[in-house]
Chain A
Amino acid sequence: MRRKSGHWSPLLTGTPQIGRATNPFLNSNQFMVYRYDFENFGYTHKGKLMPFKRKDLLGIRDLEAHEIEHILDLAFSLKEINTRPIKKVPTLRGKTVVHLFYEPSTRTRTSFDVAAKRLSADTYSITASTSSMVKGETTLDTLKNLEAMKPDIFVIRHSASGTPHRLAQRTSASVINAGDGMHEHPSQALLDMMTIREHKGRIKGLTVLILGDIAHSRVARSNIWGLSRMGAKVVVCGPTTLIPMGIEQMGVVVSYRLEDVIAAADVIMVLRLQTERMQQMLLPSLREYAVCYGLNAQRLESAKRDVLVMHPGPINRGVEISPEVADGPRSVILDQVTNGVAVRMALLYLLGQRYEAGPEN
């Protein structure tokens, strides 16, 4: 397969399915060596091409390292489109993308929408407030009805963990998980990894500190899977009440004191603290949280000089992060947003091109 200019040919040549490890906490392929094949735009492993050939993108946990690498490489090459005077390519012309959002979202939905439109796909947004969801139609019925209109890709966000996974089994269209409950937010983790790679040149060998409400964070979970699979060391830090039971089994180091772990970090990912955590008896006050775990300029002095400060947004200024840090020189928060569009273009591209390769051989 040859790469044509201005068009990325999909790689759907038949390769053996990579066996998944049965232990959900381990990935047996973690240490395999993959070589990137620029000619064919995919990865080779032991001489075999390992293309991206999934119907859905549901989580980072099921992705192999070479697939993450593939998505990030593609995102980097697509990023340039966003800086052109005319920010549109015809790649997904005639494809239909439906954004099915059961939870409020500005950033993620807009980012997917911008990404899809820049690839010339037609997009439709359905949100909880504007649809029959309020009339009591089940999620599955909504999906089936929309599917009858023959879309190519569903981008689904839902407050209940696992919903995109179950829906994906019931539709022949591709499903991209845009965040499910406290479970996964794969596109966010991918854009985070892209931002880290962009600024640090690599992911392998870095120490990434994820700070704050780990228990309720799908961003944390997806990043833990992705970063550790890509060879980074992940440290999670937060109050005991917000660190979930057994998180160590996901391969992270746990700390309850920011002072102990801040110095070793190459990247600090600050998570949003939702104010309803106070009602759930998880924290005594926002004030105490800010004192113990808020990232401020003084705390940052004990960090590495070139540490990256990241945040998935939206920010609670003055709670988990102080304004001078959020807007400071180490912050790459807005780069994350920029890269978000590129990563989502890559995902839409990979899934949108799926059928054009014809039947698997």
Chain B
Amino acid sequence: MQNFLFRRGRVIDPARGIDQVADVLVVDGRLMDIQPDLKIGMDWLANVHQFDMDGKWIVPGMLDMHVHLREPGEEYKETIASGTRAAVAGGYAGVACMPNTKPVNDTAAVTQFILEKARQEAACHVFPVAAISRGLQGEHLTEFGELRESGAVAVTDDGRPVMNSLLMRRALEYARIFDLLVISHAEDLALAEGGLMNEGPISTLLGLRGIPNAAEDAMVARDILLAELTGGRLHIAHVSTAGSVRLVRDAKKRGVPVTAETAPHYFTLTDSELLSFDAVFKVNPPLRSAEDRESVREGLADGTIDVIATDHAPHSLLEKDTEFEYAASGMIGLESALPLVLELVRCGVLDASKAISKVTCNPSKILGVPMGTLNPGKAVTLTVIDPKVDYILDCKSFESKSRNCPFHGRQVQGRVELTLVEGKIAYSRS
């Protein structure tokens, strides 16, 4: 029975400008009505699951546009099945998966494999992002047309920058034919060479080679100039610096087709976490200074940064439980993001509606995927959030196969109660 009645929930649907306490009726998996004090007949009530939503939020199914599912190739870290289970447990009804798998998602066959696997095993929508260059080598373009045809929603060499400026120009130009989004992992490899953490007083103290802000800023500036030149749609992944925020803000003012995302660790943590030498805090771009964190929050508040994505990057103990210098970069994020987004609401950086837009309609609009709003008449995809509950994040309870969560043990507030994907319960906490 897929008939639900959610009573007196706070319905937040930023795409349609809704933020009110209302009842939500779902019949046969389809969203029938959103109204305060919905009246339904007694004959109906018997066939409807009623949920008391007092104090809870009902939002469109969340979308994470930056996830590493690791399949194919590194199934010991994560699979499409486990990664999407983690997603729905974190409130996400859709994920965009990055192409740095083994083999790289640089051909239609790999894209099709991911989608086929997702059809069989995934707990939520999976939107493959294909590579810009063959094998992420930064030399030849992949076949954007075929990749788009097979279901890729964007292209990126994420994990590596496109160092060759001409190739990046061509990518932005060529992507326009197929209306593909080009996602930039902005990092100047020469400036970042050998770097293990943010360059600054903490890296000096710890004797760890630093990555300067300029390594990110310089590439963000370059890619904005190329987007301006070509008219290609550019999206800056994982913004971590004050400089990037400033550059994107200025570019948007000039009307350059650029959008940007950041991740919870960049608006929550700083490089002082590294004082423990714990490789769980090793990530690329690195955790930055408190000033950068503040700028990222300002960027979120004024709309410069459109999206909060997790950059969920699972690694096993093999990659993480080792010398800091040799450890892999990356953190998991799907199951810890929501309470951290709510932290931004609690400390007044974002209002509830703005915060929800950054994990629902903004990413879906940028990726051009049919999610992000509560459409009456359509199969319902929504997330129910209890914003008040206090608890301690415990990564041992996560659905993800990996445990590299920097927020393990953190006191947080707010969690996912229910995730509906296309009318079906994909996750229910109880």
**Chain A residues at the B interface, C-beta cutoff of 8 Å:** 24-25, 61, 138-140, 158-163, 165-166, 180-184, 215, 218, 221, 244-247, 249-250
Chain B residues in 8 Å Cβ range of A247: 201, 204
Indicate if B112 sits at the interface (CB-CB under 8 A): no
Other than the given A184-B207, A215-B204, 15 more pairs (CB < 8 A) read A24-B205, A24-B275, A61-B205, A160-B326, A161-B277, A163-B324, A165-B277, A181-B325, A182-B207, A245-B201, A245-B203, A245-B204, A246-B204, A249-B205, A250-B204
Residues from 148 to 166 in B contacting A, C-beta threshold 8 Å:
none
Chain B residues in 8 Å Cβ range of A183: 206-208
Specify which of A140, A161, A165 is in contact with B208 (CB 8 Å cutoff).
A161
B205 touches A25 (CB 8 A): yes
Give the complex CA separation of A181 and B323 in angstroms. 11
Instruction: Give chain B's interface residue range (CB within 8 Å of chain A).
Output: 20 to 34
Please indicate which of the listed interface residues A24, A139, A159, A247 has the most CB atoms of chain B within 10 Å of its own CB. Answer: A24
Indicate if B199 sits at the interface (CB-CB under 8 A): yes
Indicate if B270 sits at the interface (CB-CB under 8 A): no
Chain A residues in 8 Å Cβ range of B272: 24
Chain B residue with Cβ nearest A165: B277
Chain A residue with Cβ nearest B193: A280
How close is B284's CB to chain A, nearest CB, in angstroms? 17
Cross-chain pairs A/B with CB under 8 angstroms, 5 sampled: A159-B325, A162-B323, A165-B277, A182-B208, A183-B208
Specify which of A24, A166, A244, A246 is in contact with B323 (CB 8 Å cutoff).
A166
Chain A residues in 8 Å Cβ range of B277: 161-162, 165-166
Please indicate which of the listed interface residues A138, A162, A250 has the most CB atoms of chain B within 10 Å of its own CB. Answer: A162
Specify which of B200, B275, B321, B323 is in contact with A163 (CB 8 Å cutoff).
B323
Proximity string of chain B (199-243) to chain A, C-beta cutoff 8 Å, 1 when within and 0 when not: 111111111111000000000000000000000000000000000
A161 touches B204 (CB 8 A): no
Give the complex CA separation of A159 and B208 in angstroms. 11
How close is A254's CB to chain B, nearest CB, in angstroms? 11
Indicate if B322 sits at the interface (CB-CB under 8 A): yes
How close is A63's CB to chain B, nearest CB, in angstroms? 15
A246 touches B201 (CB 8 A): yes
A161 touches B325 (CB 8 A): yes
B322 touches A140 (CB 8 A): yes
Give the complex CA separation of A150 and B429 in angstroms. 47
Specify which of B202, B210, B324 is in contact with A162 (CB 8 Å cutoff).
B324
Give the complex CA separation of A218 and B204 in angstroms. 10
B205 touches A162 (CB 8 A): no
How close is A60's CB to chain B, nearest CB, in angstroms? 12
B324 touches A160 (CB 8 A): yes
A139 touches B322 (CB 8 A): yes
Proximity string of chain B (179-207) to chain A, C-beta cutoff 8 Å, 1 when within and 0 when not: 00000000000000000000111111111
Please indicate which of the listed interface residues A159, A165, A181 has the most CB atoms of chain B within 10 Å of its own CB. Answer: A181
Specify which of A138, A158, A160, A245 is in contact with B210 (CB 8 Å cutoff).
A245
Give the complex CA separation of A163 and B202 in angstroms. 17
B199 touches A245 (CB 8 A): yes
Chain B residues in 8 Å Cβ range of A245: 199-201, 203-204, 210
How close is A170's CB to chain B, nearest CB, in angstroms? 9
Proximity string of chain B (321-361) to chain A, C-beta cutoff 8 Å, 1 when within and 0 when not: 11111100000000000000000000000000000000000
Give the complex CA separation of A340 and B200 in angstroms. 32
Chain A residue with Cβ nearest B327: A160
Specify which of B200, B201, B207, B278 is in contact with A161 (CB 8 Å cutoff).
B207
Chain A residues in 8 Å Cβ range of B324: 160-163, 166
Give the complex CA separation of A245 and B323 in angstroms. 23
Chain A residues in 8 Å Cβ range of B203: 244-245
Chain B residues in 8 Å Cβ range of A25: 201, 205
Specify which of A158, A159, A161, A249 is in contact with B206 (CB 8 Å cutoff).
A161
Chain B residues in 8 Å Cβ range of A160: 323-326
Give the complex CA separation of A325 and B324 in angstroms. 39
Please indicate which of the listed interface residues A25, A184, A246 has the most CB atoms of chain B within 10 Å of its own CB. Answer: A246
> Which 3 pairs, one residue from A and one from B, show the smallest C-beta to C-beta distance?
A246-B201, A162-B277, A182-B207
B208 touches A181 (CB 8 A): yes
Chain A residues in 8 Å Cβ range of B201: 25, 245-247, 249-250
B322 touches A221 (CB 8 A): no
Chain B residue with Cβ nearest A218: B207
Chain B residues in 8 Å Cβ range of A246: 200-202, 204-205
Given contacts A24-B275, A163-B323, A181-B325, contact A221 B210 (CB under 8 A): no
Chain A residue with Cβ nearest B279: A166
Give the complex CA separation of A187 and B392 in angstroms. 41
Chain A residue with Cβ nearest B198: A245
Please indicate which of the listed interface residues B200, B272, B277 has the most CB atoms of chain A within 10 Å of its own CB. Answer: B277
Specify which of B200, B205, B275, B323 is in contact with A221 (CB 8 Å cutoff).
B205
How close is A183's CB to chain B, nearest CB, in angstroms? 3
Given contacts A162-B277, A166-B277, contact A244 B204 (CB under 8 A): yes
Chain A residues in 8 Å Cβ range of B323: 139, 158, 160, 162-163, 166
Give the complex CA separation of A250 and B272 in angstroms. 14
Give the complex CA separation of A222 and B429 in angstroms. 51
Give the complex CA separation of A215 and B203 in angstroms. 10
Give the complex CA separation of A25 and B199 in angstroms. 16
Give the complex CA separation of A250 and B202 in angstroms. 10
